[in-house]
Amino acid sequence: MDKLARSKSHQSSSKEAYELGKNWSKQAKERAFLLQEHLIKWFDDEQSGMQEAIQQSILGTDFSSEDIYFQLSAIKSRLETGDLVHWVDQCTSDRPSSDESRHWLDAQSTDNENIEAYRVTQLRERSHILCIHAGNLPLVGLQDVIAVLLAGHCYTGKISRKDPYLLSSILSWLIQFGWREQIQHWTQNTAEIPVNNYDEVLFAGSESSLSSVRKTLTEARTLDEETPWLNRIASFSIAYCSSKEAVIEQSTEFMDALMRHGGKGCRSVGVVVSPVGLNELRIPLENAMKNVLEQNGSLRQANTLEQSDALKQNNSANLKMAEIPLQGGNRSESTRLTYKKAYNIAVDRVFVDVGDWMIEEHPIEYVPEPSNNRVVYWVHANQEDLVNLVERFGSALQSIYYVGPKASDVKKPYKYSFDIESIDSAQRPPLYWKPDGIDILRYLCPFII
């Protein structure tokens, strides 16, 4: 093909891609409106199966009823705020980050001409996405489902056996509203994942489980070895507390960020960085932790009821509140913490402990990656050191929160794609939050340029 012909062909591809892209955006927005409506119905309709799923989750998972209600309330309020439409708008108007949007394009093509042709193909065809969900309450799994549906792709899911109820209920509900074409299959058993020409795998889990799951699926020929995987392995978040006063003023949000979901979610704070030493905040922190634990029943219930008002208003079935169990650790966990406490005393480490929760101060040079969900590390350091820590923790770190008057006061670690979030969004993130720093909708739609 000569230069002129190539140029014409390119122009034609570009035009086609532009038209298709415009059309895709329109359709994606329509999908967002519809999905939003259908998901809200799942919350509101007595017959949706939500009640049963909640009760099953209370009885059959490790999550407390209080955490389940809290999370569902948060999701519902975000749906009502219009998060899904906002997400699509954001995706189609913002420029993509290199990580999120160009991975397929880069893999397929290096010149503009081919990129346009590839965009056209992608815009015309549906991709098949396999989602391997970890059981977790922040519902990264639900976010993956939403993103796949908004993108217009086909969904197949491997749902955690340990937490199968809520997501299955939502999927069953959506099918009744015309999503069958996109929601193709879901199962709790790896062996039952249908063989398909999957274009992408979305995985939420640990690095250690990743290799074994991947091996099982490739050995069973469910997947091609070349199928791209997106792995979400972040395990904790950092909070930067600017001052003693800020911690005291925002102690409720701060404690929620530390202690909600038993500290297990990747959005839970595992490390606190502050120019204030732990000793200076010992009493207010102890009091705040005690408040959470002592009033676990009443306070947490109050929180949940308040949060659940939105759910209840249009829900004649109402959410029946079960007794809220204290999130106590088991005996071995308690013994382990007893030893940890003894160790801290032995090495003169400053720490605060209430119940089976502990905050311990570590020097910036040696603070380890937090692994125990009930032990939070406090680092007496400034903002410059925060940047070093972000670099050191790498992919294990999910988010950075700010406790103080203005989040914009925190110097952003420029090398990384972290947004500095307000502490009150830690456990109530928007539905378009970025697990492992990746906007999943943008990731699944590299053709939106």
Residues binding other proteins (CB under 8 A): 62, 134-136, 140, 160-163, 188-190, 204-206, 208-209, 232-236, 263-266, 268, 270, 332-333, 335-336, 338-339, 341-343, 345-349, 365-366, 370-373, 396, 398, 435
The end-to-end CA distance of the chain, in Å, is 27
Report in angstroms how near the CB of residue 236 gets to other proteins at its nearest: 5
Nearer to other proteins, 437 or 446 (CB): 437
Q: Is 406 helix (H, G, I), strand (E, B) or coil?
A: coil
Q: CA 424 to CA 36: how far, in whole Å? A: 24
The CA angle 249-250-252, to the nearest 5 degrees, is: 120
Nearer to other proteins, 263 or 404 (CB): 263
Q: Among all chains, which residue has been given the structure tokens 């039952």?
A: 192
Report in angstroms how near the CB of residue 90 gets to other proteins at its nearest: 24
Report in angstroms how near the CB of residue 401 gets to other proteins at its nearest: 15
Report in angstroms how near the CB of residue 149 gets to other proteins at its nearest: 20
Q: CA 377 to CA 389: how far, in whole Å? A: 12
Task: Give the sign of the dihedral formed by CA 133, CA 137, CA 142, CA 144.
Answer: negative
Q: CA 314 to CA 84: how far, in whole Å? A: 20
Q: CA 236 to CA 377: how far, in whole Å? A: 11
Element containing residue 78 per DSSP (H, E): helix 65-81
Burial (CB count within 10 angstroms: exposed 0-12, middle 13-18, buried 19+), residue 191: exposed
The DSSP-derived string for 324-363 is -------HHHHHHHHHHHHHHHHTT--EEEETTEEEEEE-
Report in angstroms how near the CB of residue 280 gets to other proteins at its nearest: 22
Q: Count CA atoms within 13 Å of residue 67 on its CB side.
A: 23
Report in angstroms how near the CB of residue 234 gets to other proteins at its nearest: 6
Nearer to other proteins, 312 or 336 (CB): 336
Partners of residue 36 on adjacent β-strands: none
Report in angstroms how near the CB of residue 270 gets to other proteins at its nearest: 6
Amino acid identity for residue 410 in this structure: V
Token couple for 123: 């815009």
Contact 158, 129 (CB under 8 A): no
Nearer to other proteins, 98 or 338 (CB): 338
Partners of residue 185 on adjacent β-strands: 156
Contact 321, 65 (CB under 8 A): yes
Report in angstroms how near the CB of residue 204 gets to other proteins at its nearest: 4
Report in angstroms how near the CB of residue 303 gets to other proteins at its nearest: 22
Q: Among all chains, which residue has been given the structure tokens 């699926």?
A: 217
